[in-house]
Amino acid sequence: MRWRAYGLSATGSISGSKESRVTIVHLLLIVFLLLTPVASATIATAAPGEIDFAALDAAIAAQMAKHGLPGAALAVVEGGEFVYLKGYGSAGRRAMTPQTPMFIGSQSKSFTALAVAQLAEEGKLDLNAPVRIYIPWFRVADGAASGQITVNHLLHHTSGLSESGYSVILPADATPEEAVRSLAQARLTAPVGTKHQYFNIGYDVLTYIIETVSGQSYADYLRTHVFEPLGMSRSTADPATARDLAQGYSRMFGFSIPVRQTVRQYEIGAGYIVSTAEDMARYAVAMMQDGGGLVTPETAERIFTPGVGDYGMGWYINRSRTKIWHGGANEAFRTEVNLYPKDGRAFVLLVNEGHLADHYIAGPQLAAAVEAIVLGRTPPPVGLGPSVRTIGWALGALVLVLILLHTFNFRRLRGWPARARAMSPAKKTLDVAISFIIPTVILLIIFSQMRAFFGYRFNLGTNLVMMRYTLPDVFVLMIVGTIPDYVQGGVKLTWALRGCRTSA
């Protein structure tokens, strides 16, 4: 078990003096803000044994029950063939199957990288060429870097750009070209080519280059050069044309709630391709067979060669080359694609649940169990690590406690003017100030923890938008925990400025 501070946070109001004092609730809130457990398990290295599919089913069912996951679809590959395809739970109003389409999140980047590699093989672009060769008007905030950033830098996330240096919030219907032009405001956070910094918009630039160089739309290019050759008949890079999509879910206090997945048009090549577990298994087989004819073995080797940060072209690769993986996380879906070349095995796991706690707690626990069994080993105990559903229930209980606490405080507020007359000026000032200071400190902790964890484009708007879509219950908790304090502080301040002459 390791502990990692991140943006899942709870907030509460803390009042001071005799009328308003720090409570155990608030202490728990601070602890919850700073430390949240994330399960991790290490699988011992050993020669893989036979895959126990009954144990695999039992492990997935146990993890789904533990976390309250609505549905999942699994594909297991061995020796270049499908050896297991199964759906679990619900895709909404129907059962989940391996043929149920879902968004695959950042796994989309591997397809974008593959398309770039194909175009390079055809001599239509040079991976080492500056981006400006293909987009003459391309620029970032640093003028010199604008001409130094190459296609390869974008593929490996070593352009020097990062989410923390990019403060633009684009509308969902923005085009890839608009996304590329917005980089004029992006500042470098590392010298070009020196550091791996995951940057979604970098793959949006690659998407635009693919369209510019090929003369096709991104969706048409992938359809004709990847999906159709592999028989991926239910996959598309045009989500508007996708049919029979699984219902996606977020959470509210531990309970799954159906949500509509937002599609950011400018970022399809970075995170919004639609596919199925079966189709992705075809893709996994091809990539494990030197590109499956989509690229030459030499190009496949280049795709899977780790660079800075153990990142190849759209894939993470460990140094021993025993594991190649990526995955994706949308607001309502999660994807895992793990390849084990030396073992000749792979698995694809799609889940229609996208709450941030699922991405960092439930998802890794489920994937660790599947990985262990696929490699013929014993999975971690189901009880290892926290339950997302239990955490959600605890947050819900906390909201109820805060509502009761604020109700009590508001009832007592009616007698505050009379009590304030007996206070010294210093004590009265502190009593008023504490209603503003404590919730502000808690908000600063929340936002600083989110920024530290994500390194994301952080301003107030981005914080609130991210919480609303990926942590809706925590967003509610934050509102319930802080706004009443600000209201009480405002009322006290108004009365204090009037000399406490007003009575309620």
Distance CA 296, CA 292 (A): 8
Residue 294: predicted pLDDT: 97
- Strand duo 71-78 + 36-38: pairing: unpaired
Please tell me whether residues 334 and 405 are part of one structural domain. no
- Which CATH number covers residue 317? 3.40.710.10
Q: Please indicate, yes or no, if residue 174 is contained in any of the structural domains.
A: no
DSSP string, 29-83: HHHHHH-EEE----PPP-------HHHHHHHHHHHHHHHT--EEEEEEEETTEEE
Domain termination site, one of 348, 374, 400? 374
Please, which pLDDT band fits residue 481 given cuts at 50, 70 and 90? confident
**Element spanning 257, H or E:** strand 255-259
Two structure tokens written together for 493: 């301040």
Please tell me whether residues 344 and 487 are part of one structural domain. no
**Least reliable range by pLDDT among 196-210, 235-249, 490-504:** 490-504
Q: Please indicate, yes or no, if residue 249 is contained in any of the structural domains.
A: yes
Distance CA 233, CA 213 (A): 25
In 135-204, DSSP assigns E strands to none
Give the residue from 318, 227, 214, 314 showing the smallest Cα distance to 271. Answer: 314
Q: Please indicate, yes or no, if residue 146 is contained in any of the structural domains.
A: no
Please tell me whether residues 397 and 462 are part of one structural domain. yes
Task: Give the other-Cβ count within 10 Å of 92's Cβ.
Answer: 17
Q: Please indicate, yes or no, if residue 67 is contained in any of the structural domains.
A: yes
> CA dist 399 to 15, 199, 302, 347, 473, Å?
17, 35, 51, 39, 9
Q: Please indicate, yes or no, if residue 148 is contained in any of the structural domains.
A: no
Distance CA 292, CA 128 (A): 24
Q: Determine contact, residues 355/251, Cβ cutoff 8 Å.
A: yes
The answer on pLDDT for 460 being more than 80 is no
Please tell me whether residues 330 and 445 are part of one structural domain. no
Domain termination site, one of 374, 401, 425? 374
Percentage of the chain with pLDDT > 70? Answer: 85
Please, which pLDDT band fits residue 48 given cuts at 50, 70 and 90? low
Query: Taking CA 449 as the corner, what is the angle to CA 23 and CA 392, rounded to the nearest 5 degrees?
Result: 60
Task: Give the other-Cβ count within 10 Å of 93's Cβ.
Answer: 7
Please tell me whether residues 324 and 276 are part of one structural domain. yes
> CA dist 27 to 8, 14, 34, 406, 408, Å?
16, 9, 11, 16, 19
Query: What number is the average pLDDT over the span 192-204?
Result: 95
Strand partners, 3: 37
Supply the DSSP symbol for 320: T
Residue numbers of the domain that contains 440: 2-36+388-497
Residue 7: predicted pLDDT: 27
Please tell me whether residues 366 and 245 are part of one structural domain. yes
**Least reliable range by pLDDT among 202-216, 220-234, 239-253, 483-497:** 483-497
Residue 393: predicted pLDDT: 95
In 265-400, DSSP assigns E strands to 274-275, 316-317, 324-325, 328-329, 334-340, 345-351
Please tell me whether residues 247 and 294 are part of one structural domain. yes
The answer on pLDDT for 100 being more than 70 is yes
Query: What integer best gives the mean pLDDT of the chain?
Result: 87
3-state secondary structure 203-236: HHHHHHHHHHHHCCCHHHHHHHHHHHHHCCCCCE
Q: Determine contact, residues 275/235, Cβ cutoff 8 Å.
A: yes
Q: Which residues contact 459 (CB under 8 A, 6 or more apart)?
A: 167
Residue 465: predicted pLDDT: 63
Place of tokens 């990692």: 4
Place of tokens 């352009």: 159
Q: Please indicate, yes or no, if residue 312 is contained in any of the structural domains.
A: yes
Please tell me whether residues 46 and 24 are part of one structural domain. no
Predicted model pTM: 0.84
302-333 pLDDT tens trace: 999 999 989 999 999 998 899 999 999 999 99
* Count of domains observed in the chain: 2
Domain termination site, one of 342, 374, 406? 374
Please tell me whether residues 416 and 452 are part of one structural domain. yes
Please tell me whether residues 264 and 357 are part of one structural domain. yes
**Least reliable range by pLDDT among 95-99, 185-189, 340-344, 408-412:** 408-412
Distance CA 307, CA 127 (A): 14
Please tell me whether residues 357 and 458 are part of one structural domain. no
Please, which pLDDT band fits residue 45 given cuts at 50, 70 and 90? very low
